């Protein structure tokens, strides 16, 4: 670069830093200013020779992350300083000890939580999951780690255009799987929405562009409509002497896509794309009354959809979110979503946990969020499984809808949807959960696998003699309950195994046999067990009794086990020879359809059962642990999960041949039930298109039908032709290809 270009860069860096400091001026004293300046100078020095993929100086990234932390999340000087140096340890020679020496232990701990794990991992271990767990381990000490990480992820997503497509897909999938739900749970709704929209941009670029274009084309009409609707609302509210502001908005790109998929409808059929937010000025003592007054005014003039009322003021969400949501029929026959909240509630909704600090004394939602963080802390403390299991369980808690359950004294507990009395008992206290004998719901005895509903009042019956059972794991949905049950079962199993070891050694000693390592290995193989611990456990449980031990010793003496082992090895060799002979046989001309990797190699693969890709589909390969390469459709329900956990095992793939071969695909067909519809459908598929129907199941209810049809086609184009013809049938509203649910 020329000296002039470098000078311009230095000027831009200085300008961005000044802008950051201006945004912080009301929240820092001289000591804070010095802290942020020192952090900036360290980051600038550490990243001096580094550039981003876009070519710009790397220091732009920490500066932007610090700005997001300050302006969009609303954190203070120490968080901003930490954001400026969040990549220093990971990307330079500075160590955590250096950070502690130059700043303090508190900031060093935050940076540690933000620093990725380095080193070589086994293929079976997901590095992404390990890093996510490491970051969450700091949650119980300092939630700022999560908030800064979300800011870091947001800026990376905003600046991802210059990255290669496979990197874009990996990062976007990981964001959609983990970080967007996390932002939602913490209450950062704006950040959550932007992360979802940007993720869709890279996971489904064509769909994203289509929705953006459609929204752009309808923007002027939407603005006109919402403006007229808002004017009417303003007139009615002013007549009641209410102070308020109104924000107009349309649904996010991702939420529109989600609705299109869940309802099986096109863009034009999404009925509530319009939304307004009414923010009422109120005092803490009148917040609830004022919100319901606004609701009353709105519904006096516009007919509400009673099924769409959501009251998160009486019972705030676990992340502290408070608001009234309703959907009303506006002018010209359009449904409009109306959100009603106070100024304080709006700031909490915009800035999540950070805003709670400001309103801590006034907000009942703070305790709800603290409860959630305590639950996460408990999950971290009780989970000793692998990182992938932990992340999946954590995400399940993040994504679950919430239900509101009352204790016998009327205290409120927030639980994941589909929770059972066992989940409820563990939410009260681990000891109560472990001793749960039964439960009463609304005064009536129910089984422990009973699914609770919002508003239920639950009483737990305990017994000191009760112990957790294996089948309890099938009843619970919350991570806390599941992990505590696993831990208790493992502890009990360990105690039984220790007793079993003593029993086995005593029995072997009685028949004058020394329990050597080799003998124990032979016993493990003989009883078809995993290890010696399982052997001891089964002896302790009397599953392996004296008769079986005598049979083992008898077979040992007769050399039976050696004979059996040789037979198995011999059979394995025979199978291996047979497999080699099959490999030598010439493959049919239509065996290879896909090439993998940038060098387009022909490799053996199996189509994944979850999505059944067919020629012409956008596909990718996934290297499994035991079954070779599985071929998945790009929109497979497992796609986001695989990309977020195992990006290193994803292979680029594409079809190179279109030779005739048969593939089965499932179609979902919906519409208005008419006489002779099934005959018309089967006639078009079988007679007009000459396509074989493998199965058909169509059911009608109140004049509406929905059905599944499994057809056998040659490729994607063939399938699309079938879909197009079916859509032309009178009364058919939608025909979509269905993929299986995620494993």
pTM value is 0.64
DSSP state of 588: P
Residue 262 confidence (pLDDT) above 70: yes
Q: Which residues are catalytic?
A: 90-91
Q: What is the pLDDT of residues 46-88, one digit of tens each?
A: 998 888 888 889 999 999 999 999 988 888 899 999 999 999 9
Domain ranges, residue 127: 3-205
Is the domain of 33 the same as that of 147? yes
Domain at 229, CATH number = 3.30.460.10
Q: Check residue 363 and give its pLDDT.
A: 41
Residue 515 confidence (pLDDT) above 50: yes
Is the domain of 347 the same as that of 302? yes
Question: What is the average pLDDT score of the chain?
Answer: 81
Residue 121 confidence (pLDDT) above 60: no
Q: Which of 205, 225, 249 is the last residue of a domain?
A: 205
Is the domain of 191 the same as that of 267? no
Is the domain of 318 the same as that of 220? yes
Residue 237 confidence (pLDDT) above 90: yes
Is the domain of 180 the same as that of 243? no
pLDDT bin (cut points 50, 70, 90) of residue 644 is confident
Q: What is the pLDDT of residues 669-717, one digit of tens each?
A: 888 877 777 778 888 887 777 788 888 888 777 667 888 888 888 777 7
The whole-angstrom separation of Cα 66 and Cα 90 is: 17
Contacts of 627 (CB under 8 A, 6+ apart): 606
Domain at 709, CATH number = 3.30.70.260
Check if the beta carbon of residue 612 is closer than 8 Å to that of residue 630: no
Structural domain includes residue 574:
no
Structural domain includes residue 422:
no
Contacts of 57 (CB under 8 A, 6+ apart): 9, 13, 47, 50, 51
Q: What is the pLDDT of residues 145-170, one digit of tens each?
A: 888 989 999 999 999 998 888 889 88
Contacts of 168 (CB under 8 A, 6+ apart): 160, 202
Residue 563 confidence (pLDDT) above 60: no
Q: Which of 93-97, 212-216, 577-581 has the lowest mean pLDDT?
A: 577-581
Structural domain includes residue 387:
no
Q: Are strands 412-416 and 436-441 parallel, antiparallel or unpaired?
A: unpaired
Is the domain of 195 the same as that of 278? no
Residue bearing the bigger pLDDT, 17 or 368: 17
Is the domain of 242 the same as that of 144? no
Q: Which of 172, 190, 205 is the last residue of a domain?
A: 205
Is the domain of 320 the same as that of 189? no
Residue 49, strand partner residues: none
Of 713, 647, 569, whose CA–CA distance to 131 is shortest? 647
Residue 611 confidence (pLDDT) above 90: no
Structural domain includes residue 21:
yes
Q: What is the pLDDT of residues 399-420, one digit of tens each?
A: 567 788 888 888 878 888 889 9
Structural domain includes residue 199:
yes
Structural domain includes residue 38:
yes
DSSP H or E segment with residue 166: helix 165-174
How many independent structural domains does the chain possess?
4
pLDDT bin (cut points 50, 70, 90) of residue 740 is low
Q: What is the pLDDT of residues 452-476, one digit of tens each?
A: 988 889 999 999 988 888 889 888 9
Structural domain includes residue 485:
no
Is the domain of 127 the same as that of 235? no
Q: Check residue 569 and give its pLDDT.
A: 46
pLDDT bin (cut points 50, 70, 90) of residue 109 is confident
Is the domain of 17 the same as that of 164? yes
Is the domain of 157 the same as that of 243? no
Structural domain includes residue 441:
no
Residue 575 confidence (pLDDT) above 90: no
The whole-angstrom separation of Cα 525 and Cα 532 is: 10
Domain at 66, CATH number = 1.10.3210.10
Is the domain of 293 the same as that of 196? no
Residue bearing the bigger pLDDT, 388 or 211: 211
Helices and strands, number each (H, E), in the chain: 30, 20
Check if the beta carbon of residue 742 is closer than 8 Å to that of residue 637: yes
Q: Which of 655, 676, 698 is the last residue of a domain?
A: 655
Check if the beta carbon of residue 669 is closer than 8 Å to that of residue 706: yes
Dihedral of CA atoms 389, 393, 394, 398 in degrees, nearest 10, equals 150
Q: What is the pLDDT of residues 342-372, one digit of tens each?
A: 998 888 887 765 555 544 434 444 455 566 5
């Amino acid at each position: 670069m020329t000296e002039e270009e470098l000078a311009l860069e230095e000027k831009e860096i200085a300008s961005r830093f000044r802008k950051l400091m201006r945004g912080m001026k009301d929240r820092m004293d001289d000591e804070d200013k010095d802290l942020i300046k020192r952090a900036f100078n360290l980051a600038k020095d550490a990243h001096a020779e580094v550039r981003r993929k876009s070519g710009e100086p790397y220091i732009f990234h920490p500066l932007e992350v610090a700005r997001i932390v300050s302006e969009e999340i609303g954190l203070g000087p120490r968080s901003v300083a930490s954001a400026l140096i969040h990549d220093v340890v990971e990307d330079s020679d500075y160590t955590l000890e250096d950070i502690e020496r130059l700043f303090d232990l508190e900031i060093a701990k935050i940076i540690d939580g933000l620093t990725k794990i380095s080193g070589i991992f086994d293929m079976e271990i997901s590095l992404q999951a390990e890093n996510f767990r490491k970051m969450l381990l700091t949650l119980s000490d300092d939630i700022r780690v999560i908030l800064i990480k979300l800011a870091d992820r947001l800026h990376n997503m905003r600046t991802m255009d210059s990255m290669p497509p496979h990197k874009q897909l990996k990062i976007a999938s990981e964001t959609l799987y983990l970080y967007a739900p996390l932002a939602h749970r913490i209450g950062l709704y704006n950040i959550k929405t932007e992360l979802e929209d940007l993720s869709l941009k890279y996971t489904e670029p064509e769909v994203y562009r289509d929705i953006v274009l459609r929204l752009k084309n309808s923007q002027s009409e939407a603005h006109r409509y919402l403006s007229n609707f808002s004017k009417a609302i303003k007139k009615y509210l002013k007549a009641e002497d209410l102070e308020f502001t109104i924000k107009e908005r349309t649904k996010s790109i991702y939420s529109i896509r989600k609705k299109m998929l869940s309802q099986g409808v096109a863009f034009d059929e999404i009925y509530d794309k319009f939304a307004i937010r009414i923010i009422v000025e109120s005092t803490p003592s009148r917040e609830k009354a004022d919100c319901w007054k606004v609701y009353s005014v709105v519904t006096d003039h516009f007919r509400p959809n009673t099924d769409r009322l959501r009251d998160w003021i009486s019972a705030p969400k676990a992340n502290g979110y408070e608001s009234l949501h309703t959907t009303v029929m506006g002018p010209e026959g359009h449904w409009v979503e109306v959100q009603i909240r106070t100024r304080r509630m709006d700031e909490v909704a915009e800035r999540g946990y950070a805003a709670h600090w400001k309103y801590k004394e006034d907000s009942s939602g703070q305790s709800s969020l603290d409860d959630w963080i305590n639950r996460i802390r408990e999950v971290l403390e009780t989970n000793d499984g692998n990182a992938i299991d932990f992340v999946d369980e954590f995400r399940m808690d993040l994504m679950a809808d919430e239900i509101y359950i009352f204790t016998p004294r009327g205290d409120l507990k927030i639980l994941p949807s589909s929770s059972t009395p066992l989940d409820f008992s563990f939410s009260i206290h681990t000891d109560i959960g472990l001793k749960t004998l039964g439960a009463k719901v609304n005064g009536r005895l129910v089984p422990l696998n009973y699914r609770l509903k919002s508003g239920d009042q639950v009483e737990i019956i305990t017994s000191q003699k009760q112990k957790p059972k294996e089948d309890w794991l099938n009843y619970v949905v919350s991570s806390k309950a599941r992990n505590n049950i696993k831990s208790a079962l493992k502890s009990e199993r360990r105690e039984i195994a220790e007793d079993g070891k003593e029993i086995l050694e005593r029995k072997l000693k009685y028949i004058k046999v020394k329990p050597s390592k080799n003998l124990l290995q032979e016993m493990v193989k003989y009883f078809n067990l995993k290890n010696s611990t399982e052997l001891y456990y089964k002896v302790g449980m009397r599953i392996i009794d004296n008769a079986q031990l005598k049979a083992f010793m008898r077979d040992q003496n007769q050399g039976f086990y050696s004979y059996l082992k040789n037979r198995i090895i011999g059979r394995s060799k025979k199978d291996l020879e047979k497999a080699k002979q099959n490999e030598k046989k010439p493959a049919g001309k239509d065996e290879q359809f896909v090439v993998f990797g940038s060098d387009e190699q022909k490799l053996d693969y199996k189509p994944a059962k979850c999505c059944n890709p067919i020629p012409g589909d956008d596909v990718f390969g996934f290297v499994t642990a035991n079954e070779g390469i599985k071929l998945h459709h790009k929109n497979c329900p497992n796609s986001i999960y695989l990309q977020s956990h195992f990006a290193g095992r994803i292979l680029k793939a594409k079809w190179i041949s279109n030779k005739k071969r048969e593939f089965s695909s499932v179609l979902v067909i919906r519409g208005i039930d008419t006489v002779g519809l099934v005959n018309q459908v089967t006639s078009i598929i079988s007679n007009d298109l000459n396509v074989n129907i493998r199965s058909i199941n169509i059911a009608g209810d109140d004049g509406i039908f929905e059905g599944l049809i499994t057809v056998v086609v040659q490729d994607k184009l063939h399938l699309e032709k079938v879909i197009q013809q079916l859509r032309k049938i009178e009364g058919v509203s939608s025909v979509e290809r269905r993929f299986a649910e995620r494993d």
